[in-house]
Chains A and B, each alone.
Chain A
Amino acid sequence: MLIIAYIILILSWSFIIFGMISIFRLKNLYMRILAAATIDSVASLLILIALIFANWHFEYGIRLALLIIFLLITNPIISHVNIRSAYLFGIPIDVKDGDIK
């Protein structure tokens, strides 16, 4: 049971490092929001699943499952509200001049 937790934790480290690279390298606002929010939610789910496998008790597992369901619902809502706010303000989607000065 612990081997599964180690493998999923190593996967989650790589996801966190790629997310940190993406918010420093990408030039467009929408690309940054999409990449950072998606990679971050995947890393959150992987770490919480690994914690369930690492500590196999009922009172840990039920709370971690509740946290997984909550993050799975609210993470897309936050990024959607953020992107909608930026789009209604008038930042262009085009890649060439999408970055604001």
Chain B
Amino acid sequence: MTTTLELFLLITLLILALSMILSFIRLIQGKTIWDRILMLNLISAKVVLFISVYSVYIKNVVLLDIAISYGIISFLTMTLLSKLIMTWGKEKC
């Protein structure tokens, strides 16, 4: 017996998973290296949202802490990758 709120959360999880798959396709066939950084950023944000919605769906509060720490790691990854490409990667790409 699923309530209406669980149905809405399931549809949200489905849309998030579909958009992550489409972003991953775009990451593989990306034109420039900044496109790939952008798609990696989108996938990380969608993963944080996915963990949050799933934590409300199974009523477990510990998963929200994991979502916060995943967001911090995602921010550090994007910033350091962009700075590395800006300083060292002028000949590589």
Contact = CB atoms under 8 A, between A and B. Distances in A.
Contacts of B72: 70
Interface in B29-75: 31-32, 34-35, 37-39, 41-42, 45-46, 48-49, 52-53, 56, 59, 61, 64-65, 67-68, 71-72, 75
A63 B63 CA distance: 10
14 contacts: A2-B4, A16-B19, A19-B19, A37-B41, A40-B45, A47-B49, A48-B49, A55-B59, A81-B82, A84-B82, A85-B85, A89-B86, A89-B90, A100-B32
A32 B8 CA distance: 29
Contacts of B53: 47, 51
Interface in A59-86: 59-60, 63-64, 66-67, 70-71, 74-75, 77-79, 81-82, 84-86
Residue of B59, B71, B72 contacting most chain A CB atoms (<10 Å) = B71
Interface residues of A, number: 49
A23 B37 contact: no
Contacts, number: 123
Q: Dominant SS at the A interface?
A: helix
A95 interface: no
Interface of B: 4-5, 8-9, 11-12, 15-16, 19, 22-23, 26, 31-32, 34-35, 37-39, 41-42, 45-46, 48-49, 52-53, 56, 59, 61, 64-65, 67-68, 71-72, 75, 78-79, 82-83, 85-86, 90
